[in-house]
Structure 1
């Protein structure tokens, strides 16, 4: 059965928003179960690698068969379709740091905070980095949108920071969420600067994360430097994280986001993904029983409005890479 372009775009948008929203709710729920944050990062990387590394190996060999000596450079034993320098640069921010920071954040702060601070602050970091790296210009309308995002983030994170002086640690999670968004923004801006293909970039960062993160994790666990609960966790939980965090948040959402961009364009797609902060916050209240304080509601409204203002009346830009959310903010 073949779907029309309109149906394909609509399905891709639905899948993207669903996975990005579910990522935030499920990651917080996972933090309250057996696994440690570095364990979940490991399972995300391994789960995605089971799909993407064979795909990368096939892509590289197909290019070599078709183009011979003129084929683009690959790396990491032929599983990354990008050169080593590009793979390492994108892999550090998009493959390793984002996962570690994001999952660690859920062990300190609720999902309602992540809903605002991760997908909400992503446009802020991306715009600021694009000015420095890509020499982009911030229009007055976009500047207003970014100001609203900052105000929303301060409403959410500021209260946690003040509570930290009384011994609370939610501010640690808020800070980790902001840093995770900054890492994904760095990945996205660098990927745009290098003009890499979205699917190839996703394969490359996963290959880099597998070959770098997994050995380091193993050594640190063996030395007792970090704690792992993999041996104590039930197999059902491990399998679920492999499938959802790896296969869903990385592979499926990456492909769906790319399809959505192709159909709706970058501006309309960003407006669609502006639904994620609100839906994630509602999901956290309904499924996790988290309270929706006035500052969270106000911050959510400001951030969502800021995202929408940031994409209104903007000329089309080069399509961004898959975000987590995820991407960015899955």
Structure 2
């Protein structure tokens, strides 16, 4: 056996799944803190979405073209890819996954950060995800909601109400935080839709991430460019510092899309959509703590109570999920 093979042993499916979960948690935590900090700087939420899509496309659009070209060479005459040969998935799946995972999630989340603090996003983005994913998985994938999981989800719902309910009560006083809270929960719903689509079709991690990015690139980028050029939408891309734009393209695009998109899909393939979202239990605590320490956000008792309830509900679901049957093997091609 060559020395290189012995030194770099092939990772098992379990090791890949756990590693993907760790990377996803870290990137998601940084995403919440950086996105909220970016709301106080130069770019609009639509500019941030533009930078995210363009940054990811620099890597993933050529990657997608290469995947499609390779598939066509291997199987001449067989239909391969879609969207001008840039997406490695069929058009129907590309559109379904791209609308929720590539476009709506980013737009809703970035808009939310311009109304509500990162501490609210810390609870409502990852906290709403297990709720939406469980309900969608039950309807679409016919997953069974066990009594134990129902208790965990109940804790999450109460925790979300502690956080979002306070802002809703102040809505009539002229506050805008409740708008951000609703946007965060809507973004979580869109990501849950994407995760269930990925699970239902057994999507390969790389191909799924490429497909949703290609969809966003061929739809959002030209439309947004035309709207800005025509003066129908205000943009600050022309006046923002170049360093800020490059940073957003690198982190929001390559980090949040390329890296976490692949690791999240890989995590879905091993743990399943519901258990995967439960594993993100560390994200609320880490990002809420970071919001207090790094962004000087206050920690109200309702926020603290909601954080404890949401984290407890997610952890309860993880503990119960350990006794579940072993996951099905990865779809063919996922080890490539």
The answer to whether TM tops 0.5 is yes
SS in 1 for 2:304: helix
Contact 2:278 2:317 in 1 (8 A): no
Give the CA deviation at 1:226: 2.0
- Comparing 196-205 with 112-121, which one deviates more in the overlay? 196-205
Name 2:138's counterpart in structure 1: 131
Task: Report the Cα distance in structure 2 between the residues aligned to 1:44 and 1:130, rounded to whole angstroms.
Answer: 28
Residues 153 and 194 of structure 1, relative CA distance in 2, 3 Å threshold:
same
**Which SS does the other structure have where 1:5 is aligned?**
coil
The alpha-carbon deviation at position 104 of structure 1 amounts to 0.3
Q: Which whole-Å CA distance do the structure 1 matches of 2:329 and 2:161 have between them?
A: 29
1:315 equivalent to 2:325? Answer yes
**Distance (Å, rounded) in 2 between the aligned partners of 1:271 and 1:248:** 22
Is contact 2:204–2:265 with CA below 8 Å preserved after alignment?
Answer: no
- CA drift of 1:258 comes to 4.9
Residues 1:138 and 1:261: Cα distance change in structure 2 (over 3 Å): closer
Report the Cα distance in structure 2 between the residues aligned to 1:196 and 1:261, rounded to whole angstroms. Answer: 10
* Aligned counterparts of 1:242 and 1:269: Cα–Cα separation in 2: 27
Q: Does 1:113 align with 2:120?
A: yes
What does the per-residue CA deviation read over 1:162-181, in whole Å, with 9 as the maximum and x for residues that have no partner? 11110000000000000000
Question: Is residue 2:97 matched to residue 1:102?
Answer: no
Long gaps (5+) in structure 2: 1-6, 331-336
What count of residue pairs does the alignment treat as equivalent? 319
TM score, norm. by length of structure 1: 0.90
What TM-score, normalized by structure 2, do the two folds share? Answer: 0.88
Higher Cα Rg, which structure: 2
Mean Cα displacement is larger for which, 2-11 or 145-154?
A: 2-11
- Once the two structures are TM-superposed, the CA of residue 92 in structure 1 deviates from its matched residue by 0.9
Q: RMSD value over aligned CA atoms? A: 2.3
Q: C-alpha separation between the residues in 1 aligned to 2:162 and 2:279?
A: 24
Return closer, same or farther for 1:177/1:317 CA change in 2, 3 Å cut-off: farther
User: Quick check: 1:88 aligned with 2:95?
Assistant: yes
Secondary structure of residue in 2 paired with 1:196: coil
- Report matched runs for 1:258-297 at 5 Å: 258=265, 265-266=271-272, 270=277, 272-297=279-304
Distance 1:117 1:46 in 2: 27
Other-structure match for 1:35: 43
